């Protein structure tokens, strides 16, 4: 459950440091490398924003 929760709140745009604190992780690498996954939707949104930046 914490894995899905973490991924979903990342998708919602919650700051990773806030997520780290909420989960009680002393090391950000625990939050990033174990609990947060990158979804297809997250990748698409990030690259869409990058594309818009370059077309700017």
State how far the Cα of 43 lies from the Cα of 37, in Å rounded to an integer.
Answer: 11
Residues 12-54: tens digit of each pLDDT: 989 999 999 999 999 999 998 998 888 888 899 889 989 999 9
What residues does each domain of the chain span?
2-55
Q: How far apart, in Å, are the Cα atoms of 37 and each of 20, 34, 51, 54, 55?
A: 14, 8, 22, 26, 28
Detail the DSSP E strand segments found in the chain: none
The answer to whether the pTM exceeds 0.85 is no
Q: For residue 33, with 0-12 CB atoms within 10 Å meaning exposed, 13-18 middle and 19 or more buried, which class applies?
A: exposed
């Amino acid at each position: 459950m914490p894995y899905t929760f973490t991924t979903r709140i990342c998708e919602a745009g919650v700051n990773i440091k806030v997520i780290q604190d909420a989960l009680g992780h002393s090391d950000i690498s625990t939050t990033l490398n174990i609990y947060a996954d990158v979804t297809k939707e997250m990748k698409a949104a990030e690259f869409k924003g990058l594309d818009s930046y370059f077309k700017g």
